[in-house]
Structures are given as C-alpha cells and as structure tokens.
A and B are shown apart, each in its own frame.
Chain A
Amino acid sequence: MKEYLLLMFSAALVNNVILGRFLGLCPAMGVTTRLDAAVGMGMATTFVMTVAALAGWTVNTFLLAPFELGYLRTITFILIIASTVQFTEMVVKKVSPSLFQLLGIYLPLITTNCAVLGITLLLVDAKMSILTSVLFAIGSAMGFSLVLVIFAGLRERLAVMDVPRLFAGPPIAFIVISLLALAFMGFSGMGVS
C-alpha cells in the first residue's frame, strides 16, 4: 500500500507531468485562463489518461510484445488515445446528455495532448504491472490537474492586476509558471521516484 501511495505522490509532484517532464504545455497555457475550464480539462484528462494507460498496457502486453511489433507502438498508442477520447465522449453523451453539454467540449482537446501519449509510452518502457501502471497514470493526471488549477487561479488574479504593458498577457503567465516550476523543484530532492 505504501509503495503505491509513494508512486502516486512521485508521479503527481516529484515528476510532475507539466513542470517536471514538460509535457502538456499547450493545455497548460491554453485552458488556464478560467478556473472552471481548468477543472473540466483536468478531470477529463485524468479519466482519459487512466483508461488509455489500461488499454495501452493491454494492447502492448497481449499484442505488440508477443508479436514483436514494438515499432508500431507510437502509432498504436495514438490510435488508442483517439479511440479512448471518442469512447469517453460517446459514453458521457449516452450516460447523461446534460453532462455532455457541460463537459463535452474538453474531450476533443485531449486527443492532441502529448501528456497522455507521453505517460502511456513511459509506462510501457517502465514495464510496470497493470495496477501500478493505472495508479501511475492517475497520479500523473492528478499532478497535471493540480498544476492547471493552481495556474488558472493565479491567472484569474493576474487578469485583474495592473501588469506593466510589456509583460501583460502571455509573458507574465510564462514568468508565473516558471516560478511555479521552481516551487515544484522543491519536491525533487524527496527521492521517491
């Protein structure tokens, strides 16, 4: 139990997907202008990343590895992620059209989110068991969501600040996320990776 918690802690904070691995930077800058968009995107990414990790592990273990098709891994995983997004969209729409109206807009963006592909490929390279893979994916996605929410909160405050004209908009956002990355570097000495 303890090792699973440490694994998730490590994935979320020590090796944060945005501030440690520099993956998923497009949504980090793009959907963090509003806190509600960041929450929606974070939750949707968590779901898709977990299901994609499960599907990726299954396909790799029972199809790619036994038939020595490792060279098809990247393209296969892109297909898996796109299919997972479509599946999620269909399921949310079927489960509740009202939820789909609220949350559906975030799903297509995940197809082009390199963090999902990056984590799925990383899990295969790490040769983890299925439970460990899924927990690592959840931890990574929680770290991703955490950074989105923190950054969105900061940007909502920045929007009402009187920022010097030279720094207004994306420049001050880059400075803020740099400071956030420095803060997250504080976790790197914890050695639980």
Chain B
Amino acid sequence: MDKFADSTTDFSAPTMVEGIAQVVKIEGKTAWLVPEQGSSCGSCASAAACGSKGVGTTASRLDNRRFRIDNNANLAVGERVVFGIRDNVLLKASIAAYVIPLATLVLAGALAQWQFGSDLITMAAMVAGLVIGLGISRLEARRLYIRGDLAPLFLRRARPGETCNQ
C-alpha cells in the first residue's frame, strides 16, 4: 500500500494559489511586479504548436498585469518572487466579474420576454441588463479591493530555475 499516495493528504485544507513574478520597480515600501506566465494552460505537451501561448505571453500583456505588493522583504529590481492569493479569492473575483453581469442579463431578458414576448425587445433588455450588471460588478470589485481580498501576498523568494508549474 505504501507504493500509493499518502491517504492522509487533506485535500480540503485551505490552499493558496501561487505564482512567480519579477520585481520591475521599487517605490519606497512598495514593489511593482510583473507575473511570469508561460500560458494559463500550464504548458501542455503541445505547447510548441499551441496558439494560446503566443497570445498570452506578449510583453505588453504581461506588463498590463503588473501589480504591487508591500516591500517588507527588501526586494530589489530583477528579483524573482513567489506570490500567492487565497484559493477562494479567484472564485470571488470570478463571481464579481462574470456571474453578476450574466445574472442581470438573463433576468432582464426573462422579464422582457415575459412582459412583451418580442425577441427584439428581449435582446435590447439583455444588453441593458448586461450594462447594469457590469456597473454592479464594478461596485462589488471595488468593495473587494477595499477589503483587501484581491491583494496578492508575498510568500518567498523564488529558487533559481523555479517555474510556476513546479
């Protein structure tokens, strides 16, 4: 039996989603980082032929995703660090960004269809619902940001050669 995995592994334990980023700028007690990311698919065996890799790794795209963390560890420009976000943060962020606009879109469409029974009016109502939902999601995202739920945390300095898929 000991050839197999440790059966005591607790898969329900709270985990942290980790990533690797490079320090690109230091401003006082704040460090600006750009994430290192091969591709979000984690580089499968077909990576060389995969169109997503080229799209997801352009310098401008990564530069757009730069973020800041508190520089309590005296980081220097060029250093690679491991940062983390709490596991449920991604779910909260996805709900704020996608589920709220979808819910308002469907609700507006269903109400319009029930009230008027016209596809044209339903379509217009869905577009209006989407816009309203995006407004609500903006407020929710701001609330999460103020609470600090979306902030990445510094975990440690990355080992030489360490990648986000290891």
Contact = CB atoms under 8 A, between A and B. Distances in A.
Contacts of A57: 123
Nearest to A164: B3
A46 B98 contact: yes
A126 interface: no
Interface in A1-59: 26-27, 29-31, 33-34, 36-37, 39-41, 43-44, 46-47, 50-51, 54, 57-58
A95 B137 contact: yes
Given A131-B110, A135-B106, A95 B119 contact: no
A33 B42 contact: yes
A156 B10 CA distance: 12
Contacts, number: 153
Given A111-B55, A162-B3, A37 B126 contact: no
A116 B108 CA distance: 23
B119 A130 contact: yes
B99 A43 contact: yes
Given A40-B94, A112-B52, A102 B89 contact: yes
Interface in B116-156: 119, 122-123, 126-127, 130, 134, 137-138, 141-142, 144-145, 150-152
A40 B90 contact: yes
B75 interface: no
Interface residues of A, number: 53
Contact of A36 (B51, B65, B90, B98): B90
A184 to B, nearest CB: 23
User: Interface majority SS on A: helix, strand, loop or mixed?
Assistant: helix
Interface residues of B, number: 60
A93 interface: yes
Interface in B99-114: 99, 101-102, 105-106, 109-110, 113
A146 B152 CA distance: 27
A95 B11 contact: no
A99 B45 contact: no
A98 interface: yes
A105 B40 contact: yes
Contact of B113 (A31, A50, A106, A131): A131
A54 B85 CA distance: 34
Contacts of A29: 44
A92 to B, nearest CB: 5
A166 interface: no
A4 to B, nearest CB: 8
Nearest to A91: B134
Given A98-B150, A109-B41, A50 B3 contact: no
A16 to B, nearest CB: 20
Pairs of residues from A and B, 8 with the lowest C-beta to C-beta distance, nearest first? A30-B41, A96-B141, A43-B94, A47-B98, A98-B150, A108-B55, A105-B40, A95-B138
